[in-house]
Amino acid sequence: MMSEPKATPAAALTTHAVAPGRISTGNPVTDAILGGGFPASTINIVMGQPGTGKTIFVEQILFANAGGERPALFFTTLSEPLAKVVRFVQEFSFYDESLIGSSVLYDDIGADLAEKGIAMLVPRLKEAIKSARPSLIVIDSFRALHDLSDSAAEMRHLIHDVTGLLTAYETTAFLIGEYHQEDIRHHAEFAIADGVVELSRQPLGTRDERYFRVLKLRGSRYLEGSHAFRITADGLDVHPRLVTPRIPVTYQPAGERVPTGVPGLDDMLDGGLPSGSSTLLAGPSGSGKTTFALQFALEGVRHGEPALCVNFQENPTQLARTIQRLAGSAAADLDVLYSSPVELQIDSIIGELFRRIEAKGIRRVVVDAIGDLAASTSESHRLHDYLYALTQHLVVNGITSVFTFETAGQSTTGGDLNAGPISYMADNLILLDMRGEDTMRRTIRVLKARGTAHDQDIRTIVIGPDGVRVT
Amino acid sequence: MNGAASEHALILVVERDPHVRELEQYFLEEAGYAVEFAADGITALELAGKLHPKILITEILVPRLDGLALCRRLKADPATRHIAVLIFSILMAEGRAREAGAESFLHKPLEESRLVETVRQLIAGRSRPRNRELAQ
């Protein structure tokens, strides 16, 4: 196996075209994950529990490759009636009525299998090859054949025979099945398959997270790991896992400073934040984090540095109002990426973030807030990997970033800060706080500023119509 | 169907794989050729001497006498050197096929239009490679 050792930013994957000798999935991102698409003339298993999107994924492949001289054949066995398969595919944008019956052929062999047994499969495939000369063959479900076989020996013989036939003829095969992880060790088809991809689904709160994963792809490199996807009207919308970039050996942090846009803070930081550095801005609710972060982004806009604000907390109208108040005419130039925390999916947000960075030459990024990203995934290690990869991508590209994090209560030392990996990944750590009962006093403290002489004292801040300022 | 095919030109196929044999036979006969089989290189050599096929199609990996050695033996014998040889193999061995004297080479798997077109060219006496494998 040639697995994926190379760092590839998510954004770069979207521009990858299907390679010669490859079968496109109909989605450039998925093709890129597969190293350019499925290698042609191979046998591939698409596994996953019911409802994970297997059939849709493979039908998308069929329609993406249909229209040539040789058709694609889709055999249904005993998992889902043909009528259902055909009815649901029509809901997707890739479906093309004009291809049915000529370039895309459906055939229900369930009744014959039930009557004659699994031994009928190879003669039926052979007959189809002779009469239709298919470039693609799909069997859905292949796993169902196990339930019809009289013995393990009979099934093994069938798999040997199917493999022989599909290898003899120039066709690319997709065997769909509701396989479990343990089936990989026990079912012979996994040994003969050239490619295995898994579609999975995990509940997260009131919604599900779906993942696409390549388990095996002979003769091809591929992007390892779980890649989030959604099923949309266009089929599978896949977001490649963010991979940590290699930091060039020649990499040197930029020495110059960028102004924060918060009056008084640049003096505490010896002139501003180091260009290309990452900053964690922590504090309780109401301490001024969002305003501070917006000021930082807008200061970039004023200095001709395109800035992006990723926000999960404020509602878009409220956020627009705040930006307008702080920025005036500069407001229109700030790029805002809003996502509801309820629908937030970390992979899609990161993917979109990188698309915008690349497309707009973004130099400053604000993420408000990290806690929402943490809530968007059920796997803490996944968040860790994402944040690490994200901060490294920003560093390598010289983008100065601010991540906000909401603390539960007061903190003057950051020792009780539970911001996860970002707290030690960030170059700078700034704490905002609120004190007092009768009279509220807001404070700021630069707890860490890597490689920068900084004021370590607690200072008072005030929040007025123009934003946050250090007094 | 072209003129050569209409005369039911005989093709001797040396192949062990039952699926490849069946598909080769089907597509070649459908194109108008007559097909005979040999399961190993020695039998193929004997049949070539008796049947004088227009073309011999052989896999390299066949028992008793491999496809390349079979080709060399055919080309060394004045009685059989006129038989055009197409090496059709799972091995990417175009260079070795040429060295052995084969007129053409195709890499598996089987794709009927490429196979039939190659056979047509060989029968028409135009063995110059035109398919993708030979061009590489």
Least confident span in A306-315, B9-18, B62-71: A306-315
Q: Do B109 and A130 touch (CB under 8 A)?
A: no
Give tens-digit pLDDT for A349-361: 887 888 899 899 9
* Percentage of residues in chain A having pLDDT higher than 90: 57
Nearest to A164 among B19, B27, B110 (CB): B19
The pLDDT assigned to A187 comes to: 94
Pairing verdict, β A43-48 and A72-76: unpaired
Query: Is residue A398's pLDDT more than 50?
Result: yes
Closest CA of chain A from B77, distance in Å: 32
Interface with B, mutate which of A130, A131, A162 (most B CBs under 10 A) = A130
End-to-end CA distance of chain A: 61
> Is B133 within 8 Å of chain A by CB?
no
Closest CA of chain B from A130, distance in Å: 7
Nearest to B112 among A41, A133, A164 (CB): A133
Closest CA of chain A from B33, distance in Å: 16
Q: What is the mean pLDDT of residues A295-301?
A: 94
Closest CA of chain B from A164, distance in Å: 7
As a whole number of angstroms, the distance between CA A44 and CA A62 comes to 14
Q: How many CB atoms lie within 10 A of CB A436?
A: 9
Q: Do B19 and A165 touch (CB under 8 A)?
A: yes
The pLDDT assigned to A71 comes to: 96
> Is B16 within 8 Å of chain A by CB?
no
Q: How confident is the model at residue A413 (pLDDT cuts 50, 70, 90)?
A: low
Chain B partners within 8 Å of A169 (Cβ): 19, 23, 109-111
Q: Where do we find the tokens 């009979």?
A: A154
As a whole number of angstroms, the distance between CA A291 and CA A293 comes to 5
Q: How confident is the model at residue B6 (pLDDT cuts 50, 70, 90)?
A: very low
Q: Is the Cβ–Cβ distance between A9 and A354 less than 8 Å?
A: yes
Portion 85-144 of A in contact with B at CB < 8 A: 126, 129-130, 133
Q: Do B109 and A133 touch (CB under 8 A)?
A: no
Which has the higher per-residue pLDDT, A393 or A345? A393
As a whole number of angstroms, the distance between CA B5 and CA B131 comes to 20
Query: Is residue A314's pLDDT more than 80?
Result: no
Kindly report the CA angle at A180 between A174 and A183, in degrees rounded to 5?
Answer: 80
* Percentage of residues in chain A having pLDDT higher than 70: 89
The pLDDT assigned to B123 comes to: 93
The pLDDT assigned to B134 comes to: 43
> Is A165 within 8 Å of chain B by CB?
yes
Q: How many CB atoms lie within 10 A of CB A334?
A: 21
Mean pLDDT for all residues in chain A: 86
Chain B partners within 8 Å of A168 (Cβ): 17, 19-20, 23, 108-110
Q: Do B23 and A129 touch (CB under 8 A)?
A: yes
- Tally of helices (H runs) and strands (E runs) in chain A: 17, 22
Report if pTM > 0.90: no
The pLDDT assigned to A462 comes to: 93
Interface with A, mutate which of B19, B89, B92 (most A CBs under 10 A) = B19
Nearest to A126 among B22, B27, B109 (CB): B22
Q: What is the CA radius of gyration of chain B?
A: 13
Query: Is residue A8's pLDDT more than 50?
Result: no
Query: Is residue A216's pLDDT more than 60?
Result: yes
End-to-end CA distance of chain B: 29
The pLDDT assigned to A3 comes to: 41
Where would I find the beta strands (DSSP E) of A178-311?
195-204, 207-217, 226-232, 235-239, 257-258, 273-274, 278-283, 307-311
The pLDDT assigned to A436 comes to: 77
Give tens-digit pLDDT for A31-57: 999 999 999 999 999 999 999 999 999
> Is B95 within 8 Å of chain A by CB?
no
Q: How confident is the model at residue B2 (pLDDT cuts 50, 70, 90)?
A: very low
Q: What is the mean pLDDT of residues A454-460?
A: 90
Pairing verdict, β A207-217 and A104-108: unpaired
The pLDDT assigned to A45 comes to: 98
Q: Do B19 and A169 touch (CB under 8 A)?
A: yes
The pLDDT assigned to A154 comes to: 94
Nearest to B110 among A69, A164, A170 (CB): A170
Closest CA of chain B from A88, distance in Å: 33
Q: Where do we find the tokens 């990723």?
A: A310
The pLDDT assigned to A117 comes to: 93
Nearest CA in chain B to A132: B112
Q: How confident is the model at residue A343 (pLDDT cuts 50, 70, 90)?
A: low
ipTM: 0.83
Where would I find the beta strands (DSSP E) of A284-437?
307-311, 335-338, 364-368, 400-406, 428-435
Q: Where do we find the tokens 């970390």?
A: A346
Chain A partners within 8 Å of B17 (Cβ): 164, 168
Query: Is residue A270's pLDDT more than 60?
Result: yes
* Upper half-sphere CA count for residue A186 (Cβ side, 13 Å): 8
